Structures are given as structure tokens and as C-alpha cells.
Structure 1
Amino acid sequence: MSDTDSFIDEVTEEVRRDRLFAMMRKYGWIGILAIVLIVGGAAWNEYTKSRDQAAAEALGDAITAALAADDAAGRAEALETVETEDAGGRAVVDFLRAAALAADDRAEQAVDLLDGISLDGDLPLIYRNIAAFKALTLKSESADPAELRTGFEALATPGSPLRLLAEEQLAVLDIREGNDQAAIDRLQAILDDAEVTTDLQQRASQVIVALGGEPADSRG
């Protein structure tokens, strides 16, 4: 290689270094920012996980302490003082408090709590459906049958996680209204459903027999 070629190569390399340093001075902050964001994001993630775990543990301890009360009235009162900013945690506390209120013969207050859960759009559908179902069952002796039927029919729609339990309650309403054959047909449909549980299958069969029918096992 000639001296001229060597000189040209050195100049070219120097120009490349100058351009690289110029680019680093101009855009180097982007790389630094990316590193800061990655490290900061990891630290924030660990912090939030630790914070959420601590909050969950505190909520669990508070619930356990509240449930240690000797009677339903004491449990309801203690659960009322449990505080949490998490919507799911609040729903769990309200479910437990509603159960305590119902056990203390305060069904109306329990229904109010459950209705609040069922209408909370921030909660998963299963929470809202369970709350609506529990509220309807607590009102089963006092509410208008048409209101109950409308509520259970809404929970008996295809895809609802409480569909078969709602169908069972609709059969109970059929019986109350003197429509035994409608109840038998509805209970038989429950028995024919692939998703029926063993307990529900037994209850449906027993009620069909009590109504003078004969359960038909069409799934086997």
C-alpha cells in the first residue's frame, strides 16, 4: 500500500470517528434515556408489586380479625371498618359483610350491599352476577315474583356463569305459581345440560320426583 493510500485511509477513519462523536453528542441522550427508562421501569415494577402484596396482606389480616367476632352482628360491624382502595378487595369485604348482615336478620341491608356490587362496572362480571344472584335469593320471600323472574332470567342467559343455578330458581318460581309441569321441564333441561354439577343434578332429580315426574338421563 502506498503512502498516499495509507494517508487516505487514515483521513477516512478520522472522518468516521468525527461523525460518530458528532452523532453521539447529538443523539447520545436517547440511549441514556432508554437505559434510565428500563432501569426505572424495573424498579417501579418491583415497588408496585411489593406495595400490592403488602396491601393484600394487610387486607387479609383485617378481614381475618373482623371474622373472628363472636356473632354475626359483631362481624358485620367489624367488616364495616375494613378499608381498601382496591375495587376487588372492597367487593370481597362487602360480600362477607352482606353474609353477616343476612345472618343477623338484616336482609334488606345485605341486599343494598349486594346491589351495589352488582352495579359496579369496575368489577369482573362474575362478581356482579354472584352479587345479583345472592340479592335475588335474599329477596325471594318478599319480592314480587315477576321481579324475581326477570332477575333470574337475566342470569340464565347463554354464557352466564350462573346460568344453571338461575334456571333452578326459575323452576322454584314455577312451582310457587302452581306450574309443576313447567318446573319439571326446566329441571329436566338442567339434567340434560353438559355443565350440570353433581349437587345440582341431585337436587333437580329429587324435585322432579317430588313433583310426580321421572328424571330422564339423556346424557349417558
Structure 2
Amino acid sequence: MSNTESFIEEVTEEVQRDRLFLLMRRYGWIAALLVVLVVGGAAYNEWQKARKIAAAEAVGNGVLAALEADDPSERVSALSGISADAESAAVLALLTAAESQIAEDLPTARTALESIVSDAILPEVYRDLATFKLVLLEGTESPVENRRAALESIATPGAPYRLLAEEQLAMIDVETGEIDAAIARLQSLMVDTEATAGLRRRASQLIVALGGSLAAS
């Protein structure tokens, strides 16, 4: 390599270094800001996770302490005093409803379940479960049309409590004297691939009791 070529390369490298230094002076703060944002965002996410974990642990400890009370009314009172986010509050409401039923405080149980059913923000699994429990709680005190409508709303394909709702709809069919409809519904449950062994057993026993055939027509 000639001295001229070597000199040109050195000058070129020097110019490139100067340009890089100038770019760093002009825009280096952007890179630094990006680093701060990334590190700060990661720290914030970790803080949020730790906060959620701590909140969940606090709710769990509160529930355990509440359920240690001997009297169901005291358990209901303790559960109502626990602060929680929306989903944890839904679980607390379900527990409150269950304990209220044990304490024979049906109005409180009904209020707890209705608070879940009416909360459109909650996931479907909570609202459907509360709807199902509310139908069972009200029993024959609620008009047949209301119970049927509530159960049909959670008996849609893919719904988490579809099969249990179908079983209760069959019971309503029996209640209203629609025996053939009840048997047909129960026979469908018998062959449903998602039905549990316990559900199939209950369906078969009721079919036999109603004088029907275990084979779907």
C-alpha cells in the first residue's frame, strides 16, 4: 500500500470518527433516554407484579382468617370486610353467598350473587356461576319463566356451565309437566362428550324414574 493510500484511509477513518462523535453529541441523549425507559419500564412491571402478588396474598390471608370463625354469620361479616380487586371481589361474593346460605341469611346471599351477575366487567365464568347459583337459591320461589330464561342464557355452546344449566332445565321441564322434553334433554346429556360421569349417572337415573329409555331417540 502506498503512502498516499494509507494517508487517505487514515483521513477517512478520522472523518468517520468525527461524524460518529458529532452524532453522539447530537442524538446520544435519545439512546440514553431509551435505556432509562426500558430499565424504568422493567422496574415498574416488577413493582406491579409484586404489588399484585402482595394484594392477592392479603386477600387469601383475610379469607383464611374469616373462614376460621365458628359462626357462619361471623364468617360473612369477616368476608365483607376484605378489600379486593374486581375478580377477587367476585370470589369473595361467591364465598359470602355460600356462607350466608349456611347462616340461612338468604337475602344477603341473593345480594352477593346479584352483584356478580350485574357486573358486566367480570369474566363470563364468574357471572355464569353466580347466575346458576342464584337460580338454585331462589328455587320455586322464582317464576318458571325467569328461571328458564336465566338458565338458557348460560346454556349456550361453549359456556362454562352449559351442561349443569341443561340439567336444571330438564328439572324445570319435569316441574312443568313436559316429561318428553325433559327425557330428550337428559338423553342429550348422556351422549355429550363433555358430560362428567356424575352428570351422566344423574341423567340416567332421572330418565329411568321418568319412564324413558336410556338410548336417545
**Is the TM value for this pair above 0.5?**
yes
Instruction: Provide the secondary structure at the position in 1 that maps to 2:141.
Output: coil
- Deviation per residue, 1:30-62 (Å, 9 max, x gap): 211122122222222222222211111111000
Which residue of structure 1 aligns with residue 31 of structure 2? Answer: 31
Instruction: Provide the secondary structure at the position in 2 that maps to 1:95.
Output: helix
- The whole-number CA distance in structure 2 between the counterparts of 1:6 and 1:185 is 94
Which residue of structure 2 aligns with residue 202 of structure 1? Answer: 201
Which residue of structure 2 aligns with residue 83 of structure 1? Answer: 83
- Deviation per residue, 1:8-38 (Å, 9 max, x gap): 3332222111111111111111211122122
- Does the alignment pair 1:128 with 2:158? no
- The whole-number CA distance in structure 2 between the counterparts of 1:70 and 1:210 is 40
Which residue of structure 1 aligns with residue 92 of structure 2? Answer: 93
CA-CA distance at 1:97 after TM superposition: 0.4
Where does 1:71-220 land on structure 2 (aligned, <5 Å)?
A: 71-84=71-84, 86-216=85-215
- How many residue pairs get aligned? The number is 217
Runs ≥4 residues deviating over 6 A: none
* Unaligned stretches of 5+ residues in structure 2: none
Q: Which amino acid aligns with 2:165?
A: A
Q: Give me the TM-score of the superposition, normalised by structure 2.
A: 0.94
* Unaligned stretches of 5+ residues in structure 1: none
- The whole-number CA distance in structure 2 between the counterparts of 1:8 and 1:114 is 83
CA-CA distance at 1:73 after TM superposition: 1.0
- The whole-number CA distance in structure 2 between the counterparts of 1:72 and 1:109 is 12
Contact 2:188 2:216 in 1 (8 A): no
Structural RMSD (CA): 1.6
Give the % identical residues: 50
Q: Give me the TM-score of the superposition, normalised by structure 1.
A: 0.93
- The whole-number CA distance in structure 1 between the counterparts of 2:63 and 2:116 is 18
Contact 2:184 2:216 in 1 (8 A): no
